[in-house]
Chains A and B, each alone.
Chain A
């Protein structure tokens, strides 16, 4: 409360008397609108249409109404993939964002060598989806991998983390957290936008590090935190490449890393059932849409804009 009050006094008042600027608005939006109608909408609507058909990619699609959707109700592998995906989203997103934020705050200081650390911490994210990652991950988490070698030294007998169905998903969470570079950079950019005069004012008031973080950094960073949260949730729901690369496209062992999108891909391109895959995609869109809408709704209560 007091933090908000403090900020309120620091910030100006809302401008009054907004005029509509339809023409300017649509002019600035023109490239995007053009892209929407020329490139985005067609394939989107086509996939919506395909979700009501039996389409094997080679022959023309056949209209089958809601059959794909009713099939989803009894598809147990799909239900499993939903469980896997939800677990992944709810574990890895908060973990990754917290670490990214903490490191961004630490690395934001003017301490010597920070540029170096920033780059080093970002490096894993550069590797992202390359084939090398799959090899690396087995080299680290395999039965004779690095992790087990380290554990052996301290007398713990490790296991095949990647190949045990109970821990395989965990290694993917670690992989995702390990590539926290993107949200970290966005946080860094956000931190850079906070005017130093706020901190100066707070210092004059005798506020400590923690106090300044809670009362200035956090509130002013909320639009960026919000952005990262929304996008990382969308991103995590669509997570594909890492699981695909690490499991060799199988979602294994025993479907334990079978993400929803991996299963979708498996149906569409592996089983030539693009109609069903499209139905799955639109189902996922609804799920992500609900989460995003909820996020936007909740944002009214905690995200703090300067306009």
Chain B
């Protein structure tokens, strides 16, 4: 669709008076704005729904609201056994721990895989990839038993410790691919300057893989913030509930649900992730291209 439209506009631009070069930015903006609207419609619908009385949400499928009501936010915040602040805080703890864990441990493992030559490298790399190929549903029971024997149920440890130990192979692999994109001459130069492996990692590789680290941070934030299954299983004490677990407590397929509260709190929980993305993406841009190295 998009490319076709682009192409026809290109030919039109050549024959017409206005040149393609001049209208191109405009065309791009129009196209982007159009698709942005399509992308956004469901999100807008969600925000609008959060401002409606719960039982009106499904009877009126449009996105026009007659009167804005923040009632759902007020009610939703205190609808469960704890105020919603509690769940936000719990989620924040889990997210923060996971981010630190992933950044430190995955970058170390990635550096080893991408730059160091050691025996068994290929074997371990294959094992690492294998470890993310098994669906979680069959490992969750043995894993639960393991953590339960360690006495870690109802603590954040089962959610954070694995990240500290780089079990998220996705990020290891991601960083490996990025490090392999960094020219080796830089390592070489540093080595000639007398840098050891550790300081090459800290002074050359890490600063140069900021986009990858930013990506890791953003993804860890979002995925952990939204992760339902493991938080559901490991955190059973309502004091320990996180945002996704709490959100699902509003709606139950078999009984009365509070859709208004659910949508309102969904919007609330969207704010931190969206902010995280806004902040995080600034670092995406500070890649090698703009840091002035070379």
Contact = CB atoms under 8 A, between A and B. Distances in A.
Query: Is A–B contact present in the complex under a CB 8 A cutoff?
Result: yes
Nearest to A13: B185
Given A24-B197, A123-B43, A193 B270 contact: no
Interface string B256-279: 000100110010001001100110
A15 interface: yes
A49 B30 CA distance: 57
B173 A192 contact: no
B116 A124 contact: no
B274 A31 contact: no
Given A32-B172, A192-B211, A136 B46 contact: yes
A120 B139 CA distance: 36
B178 A190 contact: yes
Given A224-B177, A226-B177, A288-B133, A124 B118 contact: no
A106 B6 CA distance: 12
Interface string A243-255: 0000010000000
A28 B43 contact: no
Interface string B134-157: 110111111100100000000000
A206 interface: no
A39 B128 CA distance: 13
B63 to A, nearest CB: 9
Contact of B222 (A126, A131, A269): A126
Interface in B54-72: 61
B22 interface: no
Contact of A289 (B117, B124, B130, B185): B130
B45 A285 contact: no
A28 B39 contact: no
A44 B188 CA distance: 40
Contacts of B108: 28-32
Chain B contact surface mostly: helix
Contacts of A146: 41, 61
B76 interface: no
Interface of A: 11-12, 14-15, 18-22, 24-26, 28-36, 38-40, 42-44, 46-47, 50, 57, 102, 106, 111, 113, 115, 117-132, 135-136, 139-140, 144-146, 149, 178, 182, 185-186, 188-190, 192-197, 220, 223-224, 226-227, 230-231, 234, 238, 240, 248, 261, 264-265, 268-269, 274, 277-278, 280-282, 284-285, 288-289, 292, 305-307
A239 to B, nearest CB: 10
Contact of A25 (B117, B182, B273, B289): B117
Interface in B89-121: 104-106, 108-109, 111-119, 121
Contacts of B214: 189
B240 interface: no
Given A28-B108, A132-B262, A21 B118 contact: yes
Interface of B: 2-3, 25, 28-29, 32, 35-36, 39-43, 45-46, 61, 104-106, 108-109, 111-119, 121, 124, 127-135, 137-143, 146, 161-162, 164-167, 170, 172-174, 177-178, 180-185, 187-188, 197-198, 201, 211-212, 214-215, 218-219, 222, 226, 228, 244, 247-248, 251, 253, 259, 262-263, 266, 270, 273-274, 277-278, 281-282, 284-290, 294
A289 B133 contact: yes
Contact of A35 (B138, B140, B165): B165
Contact of B116 (A21, A30, A292): A21
A111 B28 contact: yes
A269 B183 CA distance: 49
A197 B75 CA distance: 56
